[in-house]
Amino acid sequence: MAFETIILQIEGSVAILTLNRPERMNALSAQMKSELSVALDGIERNLSIRALIVTGAGDRAFCAGTDVKERSATDPAPAQFISDQRATYALFSRIEGLACPVIAALNGGAFGGGLEVALCCDFRIAVESAKLGLTEVNLGVIPAGGGTQRLSRLLGTARAKQLIMTGRVLDAPGALQFGIVDEVVPTAVFPDRVRSFAAELAAKAPLALRFAKKVIDRGAQVDLASALDQELYAASILFASEDRKEGMQAFVEKRKPVFKGR
């Protein structure tokens, strides 16, 4: 399928998904959401993809959030709004639930729904000029793409309230201090740093990465005993895998392992 609002590139075992509406600061339109869903179908089916980078076109914005101009032209009934938002929840949850690790490469501003997309990713690397914020209160609404919940789980409720209820915008160092981003990178080396980190992840045993991600995410939602049961189950499956045997044999033989995802 030829996309108009996104770009999907595959570079070896790393996929790069670019939000491509730079004239609108890569805002999330209905068309972009539809195209993202199709792109995710392909990513989910392609087992050779071992890491995904999500970024924005241009150098102004990762994603400015919902296309306010498009949204303001509509006035859906409550039932329709709920239906539309559930579709957005489902889309964002698909990003969050991808088996491979996902890196948000924050090449510029990430506001509202754009930051909510980034919160669905496993890692967030920001260029030094990036700015971030859940600014919906300034428009008379709340973050309704999962932002109230994902930010609370990431930072704790008190710090999430501070950001959401003030609509405060953070610069990249401030976002790092808050714990929203994992790393801040100078502009000149930003693309290379993101790709090198993706390559580092892609070189690891893919089954181990997938199970680690799943156990961490699901374990955070249950009690410790249940989480440990999930960890043990995942470990038992991995111990029987070809990748485990290859990894340990390579260690003994002092060579680089060749993982096959089996």
How big is the CA angle at 82 (ends 81 and 86), to the nearest 5 degrees?
Answer: 115
In the chain, the number of structural domains is 2
Q: What is the mean pLDDT of the chain?
A: 93
User: Does residue 153 share a domain with residue 212?
Assistant: no
pLDDT digits (tens, 9 = 90+) for 122-132: 999 999 999 99
Cα gap 114→172, rounded to integer Å: 15
From 96, 136, 231, 242, active-site residue: 136
Is 0.75 topped by the overall pTM?
yes
What are the pLDDT digits (tens) for 181-239? 999 999 999 999 999 999 999 999 999 999 999 999 999 889 999 999 999 999 999 99
Residues 236 and 118 in one domain: no
pLDDT at 1: 65
Domain extent, residue 10, equals 6-202
Identify whether residues 195 and 148 lie together within a single domain.
yes
User: In terms of domains, do 149 and 242 share one?
Assistant: no
pLDDT tens digits, one per residue of 45-91: 999 999 999 999 998 999 998 877 766 667 778 888 888 889 999 99
Q: Would 1 be classed as within a structural domain?
A: no
Task: Give yes or no: residues 170 and 249 share one domain.
Answer: no
Residue 246 annotated to the active site:
no
Question: Given 23, 116, 128, 183, which residue is catalytic?
Answer: 116
